[in-house]
Amino acid sequence: MNMASKPSRLRGDRVTLAHGGGGRAMRDLIEEVFTDVFRPESSEDQARLSHDALRQPGAQLAFTTDSFVVTPVEFPGGDIGKLAICGTVNDLAVGGAQPLWLSAAFIIEEGCEIALLRRIVASMAREAAAAGVRIVTGDTKVVEKGSCDRVYITTSGVGVIPAGRNLGAARIQPGDVVMVNGVLGDHGATILAARGDLSLSAALASDCRSLNGLMEAVLQAAPGTRAARDATRGGVASTLNEMAEEAGVTIELEDEALPLRAEVRGMCEILGLDPLYLANEGTLVLVVPETEAEAALAAMRARPEGQGAAIIGRARARGAIPVVTRTAFGGTRIVDMLVGEQLPRIC
């Protein structure tokens, strides 16, 4: 009998506090909604992991964790589950790691629709398979109605950094080239439009996607890559400020080189937002030596998730300002760290 034809043991169509009480109701929820989809190798309280990559001399483990609280939990281009997988995979990938294993912990609000949980979990399973990672352990908690917004997810990830691979912002040098793999600000603009508060009708979708395959392709084509970051909260502007501060350089952007959709640019003009500060969930910021810039660009453009790749600036000797952008009129403007937040609850 396949899973789709099995009669459900769950009573009702919403989560109750009994589903977090440790008894049969909780076991039924975990088995039907989570483990039947993720299929961990054991039901023990810990995952037991082994991989050939761990046996390579000089290999390092990479470990990261993140929590996701986006509103709304489903949006064009993704949902909180896909976001959780992509965010954790990408945090590993930008450090040069090959992501292998994830954990997933769920905080579920009493009254949350079980059908919604099933959609989120199915989305997570699809994205994990596409990224080549396994969800190997997890946890669920149910909290009283009003204590959270339907569902929050915390994911942790483990990967392996091959011997000799060393990425970090401190390695950036004057003359290095700054590039991105695609258009900027799609996720932040999509979440804003999806909330429906401003009667915006832009046809946008989040750029939410796993970038480990793209990152690996770049590192094969441009092994001298200095550093990479995924430009999530705070957008490209905050990401580049962090990198410039750590490296002790100034990063000079070209305003006209920034890849933006007309819809995102127009929304930002209407609302007084700067697209450089909008969140992204599938955007890499890469810094590579000038001699490898074209190879890195070609490697990205050869993949679907990098077809919009563009060179957006260069690292210069440290000046008074960490990040500036050169405008179409020949002047410059300061690109500072984000102060406060443009949009709450975007990831």
pLDDT tens across the length of the chain (347 residues):
344 556 788 878 999 998 888 888 888 888 889 888 998 877 777 888 888 888 889 899 999 999 999 999 999 999 999 999 999 999 999 999 999 999 999 999 999 999 999 999 999 999 999 999 999 999 999 999 999 999 999 999 999 999 999 999 999 999 999 999 999 999 999 998 888 766 666 689 999 999 999 999 999 999 999 999 999 989 999 999 999 999 999 999 999 999 999 999 998 988 888 999 999 999 999 999 999 999 999 999 999 999 999 999 999 999 999 999 998 888 899 999 877 776 777 88
Token pair 């009254």 in the structure block, residue: 111
Whether CATH 3.40.50.2300 fits 169-334: no
Token pair 């009708």 in the structure block, residue: 201
- In terms of Cα–Cα distance, which of 178, 330, 326 is closest to 255? 326
Instruction: For 111, list phi and psi in degrees, rounded to 5.
Output: 95, -10
pTM as predicted = 0.92
CATH of domain 13-42+57-161: 3.30.1330.10
Can you give the residue ranges of every domain in the chain? 13-42+57-161, 169-334
Residue 253 burial (CB < 10 Å; 0-12/13-18/19+)? buried
3-state percent helix, strand, coil for the chain, nearest multiple of 5: 35, 25, 40
Strands (E) across the chain are located at: 60-68, 74-75, 78-79, 98-109, 134-143, 151-161, 177-180, 227-230, 249-254, 284-288, 310-317, 323-326, 332-334
Q: Two tokens at 115?
A: 């059908």
- Report the alpha-carbon distance of residue 53 to residue 100 in Å, rounded: 10
